[in-house]
Structure 1
């Protein structure tokens, strides 16, 4: 699967610079374009949440619309400034298929349906690591993972110069991990080094039987396999991140939420731990 369309969703008050930098580093390797999609609630959505707080009149609606227009103008100006700094062409609609360029679209409505539809006509969605002070970040990650059906790259505070220098795959033989591998072969081909890490859990023998390294060799990708001990199931996430740090991995690939989200919330789980504690970018699929 070629990765040619990279989606960077954003919203009022969200700084997309780090994700734009990540998209550019991938885009230049993959000859992909970057679509920055500005998503803001329409007046009807804002009013629904404010109805009990302030009286609704034409002036209120006009103020909301003006605020959204100003936020969109600021967002596009920030993108144009980033393009100028990075030497990335800003295209109104589209450009050459063998070049990396950035486009800007504005969408009105709730995040979930907007991102779902935009993501399904993209190859990769880049989201921020969730920040409790910015609800958009958590909503974007959840939507990208559970509704879009495309790989999701979560970008945290640390961004390696080369995201594909050393890709580490957390492999457990699950359906989620299998989907991620199938959708990410192009990225793995571009990686300087690939490591497959198995954690000793109740699924260890199952994962070993599904020999991912042998499969990757058929695709011309040489991968090293390592095993990490995890004394308890809830320690798997920490073991994987520890191995990634020890081996200087630049990107972690992880099948997300093998167990239900409710179970992970109540009992803890690999995905939840990685989402909360990862310092490196994490590529995920559910």
Structure 2
């Protein structure tokens, strides 16, 4: 069964775009799927309410024109990256809906669509009808909007999100770690990672007393995977000199993992953003694709 067929890939800018495309292509070829690349241009009319008082109509018009020019420049740059990537990797570019039901395993198709609107809304709505969304790594600075979009997808799409690393990965989904703490978020990640673990070479469930919450224990998660024909080993990770997030990533490196699945934001989003936490540390420091679910 081809569980992963539509891989949405929002491209806001050029930063980390190629690594995200490479991650999406690994998944698409693994399942014979389709990469649905999306670029959302901001509506220049949204600039007017931000202009503030004291500005003449001509000044507002110039701000809108400048926003339109910047939007066109960014859209062109993103499309050039997409075209260059698909051409160099032998990926057939089609319309948003490929003219057949799936691709042979080992191959992939891709499409590119530009839409106008609020990025976090457009991407989230389209993510709801995708099997997985792969997002470029949300670096701080120029990609702030990408991070905002990531939060929106996690909270409102109901679908899994894979955060691509900063550098294109050589493999993804062959050696998988699952971070388990008994929460509903971890449970969602466990369900969403099933297509990958079903074909993985090795699977490891990572747990820690400092990470565990009220809910099923790690051995119960292993039993669930076993029913699905997946043999996963259990390893407790901890390091008193590191945070939970750092210890988790260290355990992934020790396993030579090329993918991590975990629940996101076990506490409130506001608390996570202010105090940090496991989710934020992994987002900022992971060097492998990370599947997150809410």
TM-score by length of 2: 0.88
Give the alignment's Cα RMSD to 1 decimal: 2.4
Q: CA deviation at 1:226?
A: 0.8
Partner of 2:79: 76
- Summarize deviations over 1:76-96 as a string: whole Å, max 9, x none: 232122111000001133323
Change in CA separation of 1:18 and 1:55 when aligned onto 2, cut-off 3 Å = farther
Segment drifting more, 72-81 vs 220-229: 72-81
Question: 1:174 Cα deviation (Å)?
Answer: 0.7
CA deviation after TM superposition for structure 1 residue 32, in Å: 1.2
Contact kept, 8 Å, 2:177 with 2:260, in 1: the verdict is yes
3-state DSSP of counterpart to 2:243:
helix
Please say if residues 158 and 281 of structure 1, whose CA atoms lie closer than 8 Å, have aligned partners that are also in contact.
no
Task: Work out whether residues 8 and 127 of structure 2, in 8 Å CA contact, stay in contact via their aligned partners in 1.
Answer: yes
C-alpha spacing 1:52/1:39, structure 2 compared with 1 (3 Å): farther
Aligned mate of 1:245, from 235, 253, 257: 253
Q: Name which of structure 1's ranges 51-60 and 125-134 shifts more when overlaid on structure 2.
A: 51-60
Change (3 A) 1:51 1:106: farther
Name stretches of at least 5 consecutive residues in structure 1 with no aligned partner.
none
Instruction: Name the residue aligned to 1:236.
Output: 244
Partner of 1:31: 32
Pairwise CA distance, 1:259: 1.2
- The Cα shift of 1:107 comes to 1.3
Aligned residues: 285
Q: Secondary structure at the residue paired with 1:279?
A: coil
2:120 to 112, 121, 144: 112
How far off its partner does 1:239 sit?
1.4
**The one of 159, 173, 180 aligned to 1:164:** 173
Distance in 2 of aligned mates of 1:43 and 1:271: 34
**Structure 2 residues not aligned, in runs of 5+:** none
Change in Cα spacing, 1:92 to 1:52, as seen in structure 2 (3 Å) is: farther
Q: Point out the more displaced range, 23-32 or 181-190.
A: 181-190
Q: 1:160 to 1:10 in 2, by over 3 A?
A: closer
- 1:183 corresponds to: 192
